[in-house]
Amino acid sequence: MTKKVLVLGELRDGALRNVSFEAIAAGKKIAAGGQVIAVLIGDSVKSYSEDLIKYGADKVIAIEDEKLKHYTSDGFSQAFLAVTEKEKPQGIVFGHTALGKDLSPKIASKLNIGLISDVTAIEEEDGETVFIRPIYSGKAFEKKIISEGIVFVTVRPNNIDPLPKDEGRTGEVNGLAVEIKDLRTIIKEVVRKASEGVDLSEAKVIIAGGRGVKSSEGFEPLKELADVLGGAVGASRGACDADYCDYSLQIGQTGKVVTPDLYIACGISGAIQHMAGMSNSKVIVAINKDPEANIFNVADYGIVGDLFEVVPLLTDEFRKLKASSS
């Protein structure tokens, strides 16, 4: 029997999140030649179907209802469970995002199946699909195999490469009417406090500040460097606790877990709770006045110096590089 894998397409600020395309790539590995079906849920989402197909989805099912304009676990679970009832999938993939982390346990419970969360790699071993996920705050990794039933996983953003975009690819797009009822939560308005610009959890470059930035104004050089590199600004819990920035920027065990290509830590000492959220970054650069700072133990490159001198110098050099290459 041909395998079917459902993948949840996730939207943010009127655009598909990159993790949606990464989830499709994960779905392809699970389907092993079978069909990957992307699911879109919202009040007006069908128009995003084409991109999902170009990134590898074989089919898209769109569920549109004004009650689904804003995410609620009640509404989205009703919509998604209607698709599982119709398609009878052998696999399900969500992004390990705020939405995915909230919705996936509810879906797994309703379907009476297991869930492997925060998957960072998918491999084949002896004919079995093996899912790899971090444990103990990233200090170790475990491998898991689903031997029977529906395979349900959430994938960490920036870890599974999306398939190349194929502009000529075509696929089936269908709508599905679902009666959304008995909602216990109605969202009337969403007030965003998160930072503008690049989404922190999906950023390829992150410039993060700690207590060493000394004030909210101390983040300005970091923002300037992030703008030049097309990256996002993050922070340690210490910086957030000191009111230097909003908690939406917090990276760490109790904040966001990020895995960018480049992570530049500025004035961050390297508490274990912070490193749990960024130690799997591909390249880590640490800038700190203290040569004994713990952050240097995980850094690929270390700069001992005042961040207020080093960061502007880096910004100028990167500007020159961009100007010479353009």
pLDDT tens digit string along 125-162? 988 999 999 988 788 999 999 989 999 999 999 999 99
CA distance 10 to 48: 10
Q: Is 268 annotated as a binding-site member?
A: yes
Dump pLDDT digits (tens) for 19-71.
999 999 999 999 999 999 999 999 999 999 999 999 999 999 999 999 999 99
Lowest mean pLDDT among 32-46, 112-126, 188-202, 259-273: 188-202
Asked if residue 195 is part of any domain, the answer here is no
Q: Is 61 annotated as a binding-site member?
A: no
Q: Is 270 annotated as a binding-site member?
A: yes
Q: Is 255 annotated as a binding-site member?
A: no
Q: Which structural domain range is residue 206 located in? A: 200-325
**What would the mean pLDDT of 274-296 be, rounded to a whole number?**
95
Mean residue pLDDT across the chain = 94
Asked if residue 273 is part of any domain, the answer here is yes
Domain shared by 162 and 205, yes or no: no
Q: What is the model's pLDDT at position 195?
A: 55
Q: What is the model's pLDDT at position 285?
A: 97
Q: Is 325 annotated as a binding-site member?
A: no
Q: What is the model's pLDDT at position 189?
A: 82
Asked if residue 74 is part of any domain, the answer here is yes
Domain shared by 170 and 208, yes or no: no
Q: Is 276 annotated as a binding-site member?
A: no
Domain shared by 83 and 221, yes or no: no
CA atoms within 13 Å, Cβ hemisphere of 305 = 12
Residue 198 reports pLDDT greater than 90: no
**What would the mean pLDDT of 284-310 be, rounded to a whole number?**
96
Q: What is the model's pLDDT at position 197?
A: 65
Q: Is 288 annotated as a binding-site member?
A: yes
Domain shared by 240 and 165, yes or no: no
- Token pair listed for 86: 């119709």
Q: Is 253 annotated as a binding-site member?
A: yes
Domain shared by 169 and 117, yes or no: yes
Asked if residue 129 is part of any domain, the answer here is yes
Q: Is 207 annotated as a binding-site member?
A: no
Q: What is the model's pLDDT at position 194?
A: 53
Q: Is 279 annotated as a binding-site member?
A: no
Q: Is 34 annotated as a binding-site member?
A: no
Asked if residue 182 is part of any domain, the answer here is no
Domain shared by 95 and 235, yes or no: no
Give the number of domains in the chain.
2
Domain shared by 171 and 204, yes or no: no
Q: Is 267 annotated as a binding-site member?
A: yes
Domain shared by 105 and 249, yes or no: no
Asked if residue 279 is part of any domain, the answer here is yes
Q: What is the model's pLDDT at position 196?
A: 58
Q: Is 297 annotated as a binding-site member?
A: no
Q: Which of 175, 208, 234 is the last residue of a domain?
A: 175
Domain shared by 161 and 246, yes or no: no
Q: Is 35 annotated as a binding-site member?
A: no
| CATH code (residue 319) | 3.40.50.1220
Q: Is 107 annotated as a binding-site member?
A: no
Judging by beta carbons within 10 Å of its beta carbon (0-12, 13-18, 19+), is residue 136 exposed, middle or buried? exposed
pTM of the model: 0.86
Domain shared by 19 and 136, yes or no: yes
